[in-house]
Structure formats: structure tokens, C-alpha cells
A and B are shown apart, each in its own frame.
Chain A
Amino acid sequence: MRRPVRRKAIAALLLLTVLSPGCVTPGFHGPVPVAPVRPVYGVGFYNSPWGVNYGVWGPRYRVAPFHASVHLQSGRRAPHAFRPARVGRPVPSIPRRRQARRMRRWPALTAPPVQWTYRFDERRNASDLVAAPINLAPAGSRTCLLVTLDEGWQATLVALPLTR
């Protein structure tokens, strides 16, 4: 009676160990490297240093959109560099339609599962890697790990790369 209980405890411990980083950490990438790194993406936005003195915007300084389409006379009749909107055309607002509620989808596999198999050798008091993974979870997926423990002290870990 004691042996199954102990095995359940071991399995629970394994699950706690691997599921906490596996299912909570998005992707399967470990920690992000800390700077300095060689920049390869995007422009050097520090090319043009500029201050952040936005000043005190006056009460008539308005930049936001209207809440609904409105008819307004043009502020200036002088010639413009741009082609003004047709006379009489209302100034449009931003979209007002609400976002549809997102249905929760079951996660799907983004790549074939990855499997490791370890066998514990009681005589040598050591674990052997029986089967190694052949691929890794792709970026952009969340990885969950399943652990099974059989009667022969063989632990199998299966990583499931899932959609987020």
C-alpha cells in the first residue's frame, strides 16, 4: 500500500516542478537575455534626440476626434496644400462598433509534441536519458508538459507546444 502512495507523491512532485515553468512561462524559451545585445531589429530611434516639453496646451488646443460625425465649417478658406474634403461632408468619428466577445478556443498544437524519456537505475542510483527530443517548441507557443511514471521507474515527459 505504501509503494503506490509514494509513487503518487513523486508524480505530483514532478508535475509541480515541470508544470510551473512549462505552462506559466509563455513559449519554451527560458529567460530573456539581458542587454547589451547586438541590435538587429528596428531603427535606432535615438537618432534624433528631442525634448519632451509638450508645453501647456491651451483650452482650445484640441487634438482628439469627435464622438460622432459632425457638420463643421472649414476653419480656413485659404488654399491648402492638401485636397480638402468635399464641402458639406460631415467630419467622421472613430469606429463605434463594439468588439465582438472573443470565444475561448481550445488550444491547438503548433508543432509535434516533444518527448524525453528517462529511466532511473536503482542499482547505480542514476537516471539515464532513453529518448531525446528531436525538435523544439516554436516561438509563439505556450508549452505544457505532461509527465508519466511507469512501474519500472521510467519517467516520460511530453512537451505540447500549444497556441496561446
Chain B
Amino acid sequence: MQRRAAPIGGLYLLATLAAAQPAPAATTAPLELPAIVEPASGEHHPGKVIFHELVTPDIGAAKQFYGRLLGWTFRDIAAEGTVYAEASLAARPVAGLVQRPLPPGQQHQPAWLGFFAVEDIDAVVKIALQRGAKLLFPAQSFPNRGRETVLADPQGAVFALLASSSGDPPDVLAARGEWIWSSLITTDADTDAAFYQALFGYEVFDLPAEPGAQHLILAAQDYARASANSRPPQAPDLPPNWLSYVRVEDASKTAAQAVALGGRVLVEPHLDRQGGKLAVVADPQGAPIGLLEWVEGEDDEVPK
């Protein structure tokens, strides 16, 4: 009896050991970020927000929140000194999550960071610095990903540039759960629009707005890429910031679900253009994220 049992136990043990064997080595490997587009697209859309990353003190909680809220799945990428997870939706990469411990005794806010597509990152950085931007993370190249840098615009809003080595994602309508829009909320939309126009060659459209406010559409290659908006008068202390929106089926339901998952509602769901609802929520760690309904095939008339 003893002889018959031994091979099972021994092989079971060795199989388990074999399966676990390579794990320690991988965590000391350099960070290998996934490509933005797979297979490579060869397309370039300067000024388009092509990727987002969240810096959070609790990557596990963030994965749980966004996975349940938006249906994202995650793949851990372990590397020396960095805890990173790639978020995907329907096998397409949608975001990256970076864990960064909070300094003890300090209260800082996690945030999503939008990456704007560029072709020549060093040339764009040069223009940005000449126009008053602040360099937060010098341009650095990552295998598969490309070259990226992080800046603060002259008003202080943080944004990133990315020269994707696999090209930019094609210009298609975002699926539900994917990023669909980015909006700059700033103290001086006019000046900021000029700054980003110098960087990306945007066409800038000045839309009707209430007195004292400004709503600008920043467009490139015949597509609206983002908006620049005056800070809401009801939020006088809100520092300039970029806020990105994920397309959702129902903004009210998704906002309620965010609360159920430990988040908060920062801006209640309300009608925006064309009757689509928009809301802003914060994840359990406080990172703001926008929710935007976008109905396909509805009437294209613009409300007066």
C-alpha cells in the first residue's frame, strides 16, 4: 500500500513545486509595460487621449472596484520596485494601475492620468516647457510601450504624453466600459486651450456658455478629442485637472453601483448635451472618474 501511495504524493509535490518555480525570478525583472495596440496599428493621432493610468495606494481594492463597476479584468505585471496591473476589456487594454504607497501621515489624492498621443515626444516637451509647463517625469522609453513623460500645464493640471511604439488606437466609438472623453477643468480655459493647441495643433471651437464661463472643444483630425472648461462656479477651490470619462449604459445606475462598491458621487447624474447623462464619482481611494452615457443612432439634432 505504501508503495502505491508514494508516487502520487511525490509527483503531486513535484508538480506543485514545478508550477511555482519561476515565480520569484519574475518579480525582479524590469518593468515591461504592455503595448498600447496589439497588433501594431501604425496609426498616429496626435492630441488623442490613448491611455489612462491610475496611481493608487491600494491596487487590490482598485481592481475590485473597477472590475465590478466596469467589467474590467486585470493582469498583474510584477517588476522590481513597481506593482502594476494591466486592465482589459474584451481583450483590449484599457488602463494601467500603479500602486504607490501613501507617505505616512499625509493625505493625498489618487488620480487617473490621461496620456496624449504624440509622435515626437521630445519636440512636444520642448514646446510645453517654453510655454510654462512643469516637467514631472522626464521622458523615458519602455519596451513595447514607447516613450512617455508626465507634465503639469501652466495652470497645474497634470497630463502625460506618449509616443506609442505600436501606434495609436484607431478612431472608433468607445465600447461600454472604455474611455470615451476627456475634459479639462481649469481656471483659464482660453489660455489653456492655446497651450494645448501649441502642443497638438488642435482646432479650438468656442461654444455658447453661460456668462463668465467658457466651454471649448479641442479637435484634431476632424474629431473632438477633449474639452476645456472653466471651473464650475460652485467649486471655487477645485484646482485645474483633467477628468476622463468612461462610457456607461446608464450613468445613474453606474453611479449608484459605485456607491455600493465603496465609492462616492462627486457630481450627481444630470443631462449633458443631446440628453445623455453624465456623472462624476470617486473610487474608494478617492480618485475621480467620469461616467458618460452615449447612445448610438439617436437623433443628431443639437438642443438650442
Which residues in A have some Cβ–Cβ distance to B below 8 Å? Answer: 6, 9-10, 13-14, 17-18, 21-22, 26-68, 70, 72-76, 80-85, 89, 91-100, 102, 114, 116, 118, 120, 122, 125-127, 129, 133, 136-140, 145, 147, 149, 153, 155, 157, 159, 164
Contact = CB atoms under 8 A, between A and B. Distances in A.
Contacts of B294: 67
A80 B193 CA distance: 9
B65 to A, nearest CB: 15
Interface string B170-207: 11111100001101010000110110010000011111
Interface in B277-304: 278, 280, 282, 286, 288, 292, 294, 296, 298, 300, 302
A80 B273 contact: no
B286 A52 contact: yes
Top 3 A-B pairs ranked by shortest CB distance?
A30-B23, A55-B235, A46-B108
A26 to B, nearest CB: 4
Contact of A84 (B206, B239, B286): B206
A52 B241 CA distance: 10
B208 A73 contact: yes
Contacts of B4: 6
A33 B29 CA distance: 13
Given A17-B15, A29-B78, A49-B107, A62 B22 contact: no
Contacts of B206: 74-76, 80, 84
B215 interface: yes
Contacts of A63: 181, 183, 185, 215, 227, 229, 272, 278
B23 A14 contact: no
Interface of B: 3-4, 6-8, 10-16, 18-27, 29, 31-32, 34, 53, 55, 57, 59, 75-85, 90-92, 98-103, 106-111, 113, 136-137, 144, 150, 152, 156, 158, 170-175, 180-181, 183, 185, 190-191, 193-194, 197, 203-210, 213-217, 219, 222-224, 227, 229, 232-239, 241, 245, 264, 266-268, 270-274, 276, 278, 280, 282, 286, 288, 292, 294, 296, 298, 300, 302
B14 A43 contact: no
A13 B8 contact: yes
B82 A127 contact: no
20 contacts: A26-B76, A42-B150, A45-B110, A45-B113, A48-B239, A55-B232, A56-B232, A63-B227, A65-B227, A68-B300, A72-B207, A75-B206, A76-B206, A81-B190, A81-B194, A83-B204, A89-B205, A120-B10, A145-B19, A149-B11
A121 B80 CA distance: 39
Contacts of B268: 56
Contacts of B174: 94
A73 B206 CA distance: 8
A60 B32 CA distance: 44
A56 B268 CA distance: 8
Nearest to A118: B14
A18 B19 CA distance: 6
A75 B10 contact: no
A91 B207 contact: yes
Given A42-B150, A45-B113, A45-B158, A28 B100 contact: no
**Would you call the interface of chain B mostly helix, strand, loop, or mixed?**
mixed
Given A33-B83, A92-B222, A53 B12 contact: no
A58 B22 CA distance: 56
A26 B217 CA distance: 40
Contact of B300 (A53, A67, A155): A67
B205 A157 contact: no
Contacts of A122: 3, 6-7
A39 B29 CA distance: 14
Contacts of A41: 31, 79, 81-82, 84, 98
B25 A136 contact: yes
Contacts of B296: 96, 98
Given A27-B77, A80-B204, 8 more contacts: A32-B85, A41-B82, A46-B103, A57-B267, A61-B229, A65-B217, A72-B207, A93-B224
Nearest to A135: B22
B302 A72 contact: yes
Given A42-B53, A92-B223, A30 B20 contact: yes
